[in-house]
Chain A
Amino acid sequence: MELLLYDAFNGLIVGMFYALMALGLSMILTLNSVVNMAHGGFLILGAYLAFTLEPYLGFWGALVAGPVIAMVFGLIVERVLIRPIYKREDPVYSLLLTFGLALIMQDVARTIWGPAGLPFAIPDALNSPLSSSFFFLTGYRAVVVAIAFFAVVGLMLVMRYTRIGIRIRAGIRDLETVSGLGVNIYVLRAVNFGAGCLLAGLAGVLAAGQLGLTPTMGDSLIMPSFVAIIVGGVGSFLGSVLGGLLIGVAAGVMTTYYPAASDAVIYGIMALVLIVRPRGLMGQEGMFE
């Protein structure tokens, strides 16, 4: 019983990661209509940049700088590579483009920083458990959950109350009309893409403190993020977040009973959701139907 509780709680922590990734992916998916296969690439970009800058800026400085630079890179990518293909109707092109980009980003990271894992150091104060019984809740993981939580809440507030947030949400519903109303949708899409990459970079830096920093670390995080979006429902940011938490907990609970199935179970949940409630837990009718 205790083990189950521990695993569930642990799964919740892991789920926050998925939620963070899924949120960024969801933003890009709904407004830019692009499946960003390169999301993992922006994740490692943020992580590696943070690693390189850490000696100069310290952990917290790097935590800010890494994602910001990843965002800037995202803005460049959006302008140069993605904007030309918005007018293509067939979604295969954006998918192939971001897929190719993902391959390049991973390879470049390997070339610049080497294939071996790099030791990304976190502040010593965070490097130990907060309590002996909940030993898996280290200071660092608590900080990760807190940052992820604030990032998500912050984004929700931006979406709700700022002008650009409202415009993005409107654009998701009907981009043409928004454009017709005089909003510069080029800027809107760029900002949205950049924000998605910012979240990916942030997830990367946070992950690097806990996992080995390698060029392939993005791969294992991107798939669960897709599942989180499908489970939570496309078009709903809150859905993506809840989807991430749900699959994190599910995978965690699975390790109590049948660890071999712990990564397959998230796809099982996805299959179930698609059969029973295809639009996802909080998805909206009419999205991509």
Chain B
Amino acid sequence: MTIQDNFSKKVSRRTVLKAAATAGALQLVPPFIIKARGETPIKIGMVDPITGTYAALGTSEINGAKLALNQINHKGGILGRPVELVVEDSAANPGLSVQKAHKLIEKDGCSMLMGSVSSGVSLAVSPVAKEKGVVYMDTGGHIDAVTGKDCHWTTFRICTTTWMLAAGNAKTIADKFGKKWYFITPDYAYGHGLQADYAKLLESFGGTVMGNALSPLGTTDFSSYLIKAEQAKPDVLMILTGGNDTVNCLKQAVQFGLQHKMTISGSLQEMENLVALPPAALMGWWVFEWYWDQPGVPHVKQFVHEYRKLDRRKFNYPTARSWFGYAGMHSLAMAANNAKSVDAVKVARALEGMELPPEIALQPKKVFFRAGDHQLMSSEYPGYIPKHPSYPHMYKYVDVIEGDKIALPVSETGCKLDYPA
């Protein structure tokens, strides 16, 4: 390394240094924000992926929360104070999410937390919320344990459990297409749990699990798993993956012509994935947790309209994720207002048993938080992708199954709420 290098660059580097130093110094000065009038705001922290594999899902959740935020503030906020949403990017990385959760609580002073798309993040953030005594609304992490054996008094969940997902469409598929199933399962807790739930249900109908291929998260090439599946000659191929994994798997399954040899189906499906699929791969029977096109259900059209004004992406019809964020934010605000406090214990008690009003539930059946495990009893929409779908009409549901009817009873979830003495 020659000395010349450094000196020849001296001028340009000094200028850059000075600029950086000034900018840096400015940031170190504590921001003295002058609050013109009104109360100090109530801050709700949200940890969701803005970058990374689940970014599309996370962005939908955040937009839903923002819409709710606007509506809440329009009506006077929480206890008369304005509400602020502080969003941190989790990049679906549990370790990073733990840090962000700490930051939101300790540095930003958030009194409540919400968020997560991935089960891993939910499982990591839930104990942090408990340690800090802050209510955490899990919007999108499905794994049973969050309101099951790893439940905490501070954690509530909007999206359904893996058991509810499985119970949502298992019977429909078994009756329609056959009882010999082959699973392609993502190799992490959510996948294992979901597959176990399906297997249990399938066997209760007298069906057989022909095989279960575990695919690592982020697998791009599913050919070897699809080869195994084809060899097993099942009636139904159950694709349990999520996000991009599902896109890749479906794309390749269709390229291999497997849809002519068996029924391609799966579990949870989301609009965000469907728009990424080429037309040939749009098929199969799935289950949605919410859908924008619910004729006859009040308030839904209005919600769709308002949401599309806020979300400016190309594909901007609200999805189940949007609803999770929306319902999550509204639930926290409603509970705090009902409890007349932002104290965590009072908010938690207020959430237990709380029923969502129709303009927030946006579903035809009753939707409420179950007291025993803090799980929202919302509905499942099993259905299928119609032939030649075009955005936004990508899905047709055949039933709306009430969550309360298919969820495991509290005693079987393994949840023991650990309220402080």
Task: Digitize B212-229: 1 where CB-to-A-CB distance is under 8 Å, 0 elsewhere.
Answer: 011110101101111110
Question: Which chain B positions have C-beta within 8 A of A33?
Answer: none
Task: Digitize A132-150: 1 where CB-to-B-CB distance is under 8 Å, 0 elsewhere.
Answer: 1001101011000000000
In angstroms, Cα B225 to Cα A256, docked, is 9
> Would A115 and B55 count as touching, CB distance under 8 A?
yes
In angstroms, Cα B219 to Cα A263, docked, is 10
Interface set, chain A 119-168, CB cutoff 8 A to B? 119-122, 124, 127-129, 132, 135-136, 138, 140-141
- Is B56's beta carbon under 8 Å from chain A? yes
In angstroms, Cα B280 to Cα A115, docked, is 22
Interface set, chain A 93-128, CB cutoff 8 A to B? 107, 110, 114-122, 124, 127-128
Question: Which chain B positions have C-beta within 8 A of A6?
Answer: 227, 231
In angstroms, Cα B232 to Cα A6, docked, is 14
> Would B224 and A255 count as touching, CB distance under 8 A?
yes
Question: Which chain A positions have C-beta within 8 A of B223?
Answer: 10, 13-14, 136
Task: Digitize A52-93: 1 where CB-to-B-CB distance is under 8 Å, 0 elsewhere.
Answer: 000000000000000000000000000000000001111000
Task: Digitize A190-225: 1 where CB-to-B-CB distance is under 8 Å, 0 elsewhere.
Answer: 000000000000000001001111101100110000
> Would B255 and A116 count as touching, CB distance under 8 A?
no
> Would A88 and B228 count as touching, CB distance under 8 A?
no
- Is B24's beta carbon under 8 Å from chain A? no
- Is A268's beta carbon under 8 Å from chain B? no
Q: A216: nearest residue on chain B (CB-CB)?
A: B53
- Is A3's beta carbon under 8 Å from chain B? yes
A38 to chain B, nearest CB (A): 17
> Would A89 and B255 count as touching, CB distance under 8 A?
no
> Would B56 and A136 count as touching, CB distance under 8 A?
no
Question: Which chain B positions have C-beta within 8 A of A252?
Answer: 224
> Would A217 and B256 count as touching, CB distance under 8 A?
no
Most B Cβ at <10 Å: residue of A141, A214, A221: A214
Q: B257: nearest residue on chain A (CB-CB)?
A: A129
> Would A260 and B187 count as touching, CB distance under 8 A?
yes
In angstroms, Cα B226 to Cα A11, docked, is 13
Known: A212-B247, A216-B53. A87 touches B2 (CB 8 A): yes
In angstroms, Cα B362 to Cα A111, docked, is 32
Interface set, chain B 15-63, CB cutoff 8 A to A? 51-53, 55-56, 59
B239 to chain A, nearest CB (A): 14
B52 to chain A, nearest CB (A): 7
A24 to chain B, nearest CB (A): 18
In angstroms, Cα B255 to Cα A263, docked, is 23
Interface set, chain A 1-57, CB cutoff 8 A to B? 2-3, 6-7, 10-11, 13-14
B324 to chain A, nearest CB (A): 17
Task: Digitize B239-275: 1 where CB-to-A-CB distance is under 8 Å, 0 elsewhere.
Answer: 0000010011001101111100000000000001101
> Would B213 and A259 count as touching, CB distance under 8 A?
yes
In angstroms, Cα B219 to Cα A221, docked, is 11
Question: Which chain A positions have C-beta within 8 A of B251?
Answer: 210-212
Name the contact of A115 in the complex, choosing from B56, B214, B254, B255 (C-beta under 8 A): B56
In angstroms, Cα B258 to Cα A252, docked, is 20
Question: Which chain B positions have C-beta within 8 A of A135?
Answer: 230, 256-258
Interface set, chain A 216-240, CB cutoff 8 A to B? 216-217, 220-221
In angstroms, Cα B248 to Cα A212, docked, is 5
- Is B277's beta carbon under 8 Å from chain A? yes
A227 to chain B, nearest CB (A): 16
Name the contact of B244 in the complex, choosing from A89, A117, A120 (C-beta under 8 A): A117
Question: Which chain B positions have C-beta within 8 A of A116?
Answer: 55-56, 272, 275-276, 315
Question: Which chain A positions have C-beta within 8 A of B187?
Answer: 260
- Is B313's beta carbon under 8 Å from chain A? yes
> Would B53 and A119 count as touching, CB distance under 8 A?
no
- Is B421's beta carbon under 8 Å from chain A? no
In angstroms, Cα B252 to Cα A211, docked, is 8
- Is B5's beta carbon under 8 Å from chain A? yes
Question: Which chain B positions have C-beta within 8 A of A10?
Answer: 223-224, 227
- Is B1's beta carbon under 8 Å from chain A? yes
Known: A14-B223, A127-B280, A135-B230. A114 touches B314 (CB 8 A): yes
Name the contact of B52 in the complex, choosing from A216, A255, A263 (C-beta under 8 A): A216
Q: B246: nearest residue on chain A (CB-CB)?
A: A212
- Is B278's beta carbon under 8 Å from chain A? yes
In angstroms, Cα B220 to Cα A117, docked, is 12
Interface set, chain B 56-89, CB cutoff 8 A to A? 56, 59
Name the contact of B5 in the complex, choosing from A87, A128, A211 (C-beta under 8 A): A87
> Would A119 and B224 count as touching, CB distance under 8 A?
no
Question: Which chain A positions have C-beta within 8 A of B220?
Answer: 207, 211-212, 217, 220-221
A83 to chain B, nearest CB (A): 13
In angstroms, Cα B219 to Cα A259, docked, is 12
> Would A107 and B276 count as touching, CB distance under 8 A?
no
B155 to chain A, nearest CB (A): 27
> Would A115 and B314 count as touching, CB distance under 8 A?
no
Name the contact of A119 in the complex, choosing from B221, B228, B272, B276 (C-beta under 8 A): B276
Name the contact of A129 in the complex, choosing from B5, B256, B279 (C-beta under 8 A): B256
Q: A253: nearest residue on chain B (CB-CB)?
A: B224
In angstroms, Cα B278 to Cα A162, docked, is 42
In angstroms, Cα B56 to Cα A210, docked, is 21
Cross-chain pairs A/B with CB under 8 angstroms, 27 sampled: A6-B227, A11-B224, A89-B1, A115-B55, A116-B272, A117-B247, A117-B273, A119-B276, A119-B278, A121-B278, A124-B280, A129-B257, A135-B230, A136-B256, A140-B255, A207-B220, A210-B255, A212-B244, A214-B53, A216-B52, A216-B53, A216-B218, A220-B220, A221-B220, A252-B224, A259-B213, A259-B224
Cβ-closest 9 pairs across A and B: A115-B55, A117-B276, A116-B56, A255-B224, A212-B247, A119-B278, A211-B220, A138-B255, A212-B244
A interface residues (Cβ-Cβ under 8 A, vs B): 2-3, 6-7, 10-11, 13-14, 87-90, 107, 110, 114-122, 124, 127-129, 132, 135-136, 138, 140-141, 207, 210-214, 216-217, 220-221, 252, 255-256, 259-260, 262-263
B interface residues (Cβ-Cβ under 8 A, vs A): 1-2, 5, 51-53, 55-56, 59, 187, 213-216, 218, 220-221, 223-228, 230-231, 244, 247-248, 251-252, 254-258, 272-273, 275-280, 313-315
Give 13 new A-B contacts, CB below 8 A, not counting A3-B227, A260-B214: A3-B231, A10-B223, A114-B314, A116-B276, A117-B273, A118-B276, A120-B278, A121-B279, A122-B278, A128-B257, A136-B226, A216-B218, A255-B225
